Amino acid sequence: MEYWKRKNAKLAHRWDVLDYEVEEERPRPQYTALCSDFAKNPVTGALEPHFPERLRMARIIAGLICILLMMVLVIVFIVAVIIYRLLIMVPLFKNELLRPNAGIYANMSAAMVNLVLIMCLGKVYEKLAYKMTQWGKYVNHSLGELEMHRTQSNFENQLIFKVFLFQFVNFYASIFYVAFFKGRFIGYPGNYIYFFGLRNEDCNNGGCLIELAQQLLVIMVGKQIINNCQEILIPKMRTWWHTYTKDLNKQSTGSTSSVQTECMFVEDYKLIPYEGLFDEYLEMVLQFGFVTIFVAAFPLAPFFALLNNWIEIRLDANKLVRETRRPLAERAQNIGVWFRILEVLVRIAVISNAESGTDNLQKLSGPTADCNAA
C-alpha cells in the first residue's frame, strides 16, 4: 500500500493532476441539465446550478436503507444455505458409501449453492445501485437524478461505496460465519441449541479450518472462472447483437472500393461501447480481500489470484483491442475511493488473520496440551 501511495503521487505529479478534482473538475452534464435551482458561487460570484444538500442527504439515506434491506436478504440466503447443509447431511450419513466423506460433500455442495446465490444477488444489486445513484437515465428527466451528485467523482464514489458495501457482505458473510461463528453456539450435551428444529452445526475436532478452506476455494476460484467466462462470452454476444441490430454486415457488403475507403471511426462504430473500469476495479478489490483477509486459512489464495490475473490481462487485452471501441481518456487525481477501500481491507485482514489463526491453533493444540498436562 505504501508503495502504491508513492507511485500514485509520482504519476499525479508527472501528469499534473495533483489538484485536478479540487480545482478543475466540472459539474456533470446530467446535474446541470436537471437542476432547477441556481445559486451564486462563493468564489466566482457566478450563478450555477444548485441542488439543496438537505434533499441530497435525505435521498442518500433512502439509498442506504435499500442497501440494508439487500444485506438482510443476503443474511436470509445464508441461513437458507445453512439449513440446506444441515438437511443434506442426514441422507449422506445414512449412506454407507458416502458416510466417510459426508461432511466434505455437504460443505462443497452448500458452497456451490452459495456461490450461485452470491453471483445472482451481485448482478441484481449492481443494477439497483446504479439506478439509485443515477435515476434520471432510466425514468423521465422531470424526476431528476435520485441523489444529484454535482461532479463525476462524487457520483462514482457514491456508486462504488454502495456496490462494494453490498458485495463485501455478499461475498464474505458466509466465510466470516464459518471462520468466527460456526461451532460457537451449539450448547452442551443435554442442552443443545436447535435451529428450525435442527441441531446447530458444529466444527470437527480440529476446528473449522478445513471447511473454511473449502468454502474459500469454491467461492474465490468459482467466481474467477465465472468472471473469465463472462469476459469471453459476453463481449462476443454483444458484438453479434450490435452487428445484427444495426445491419452492419449488410452495410459492409458493398463494392470493394467503398469498403476499402471506410474511415477508422466507421470501423470503430462496428465495435461495442467500452463500459469503463468499474467492474475491473471491483473484481480486483474483492480478490484482494480474499487474498489478504483469509490467507491464513487458504494459503493457496495468492497463487490462484496470480493465475487469474495472468489470464485476466490477456482477456482484457483482447477485449480492448478487438471487441470494444477505443476508450475515452479521462483525467483523475487518483483511483478515488478504491484506495480507501483497500486500506480498510488491509486493517480487516490484520484482525481476521490474527483471530482466525489464534483460534484454530488453540483448537488444534488443545488435545495435545491436555495430554501433556495429564
For residue 293, the Cα-to-chain-centroid distance in whole angstroms is 15
Each residue of 346-364: b (16+ CB within 10 Å) or e?
eebbeebbeebeebbeebe
Grid cell listed for 290: 480474499
Rounded to an integer, what distance in angstroms lies between the CA atom of residue 123 and that of residue 112?
17
Predicted model pTM: 0.79
**pLDDT digits over 71-95, tens only?**
888 889 888 888 888 888 888 888 8
pLDDT score of 344 more than 70: yes
pLDDT for 141 equals: 34
Residue partners of 66: CB distance under 8 A and separation at least 6: 128, 132
**pLDDT digits over 30-44, tens only?**
777 777 777 777 777
Each residue of 73-86: b (16+ CB within 10 Å) or e?
bbeebbeebbbebb
Residues in the chain: 374
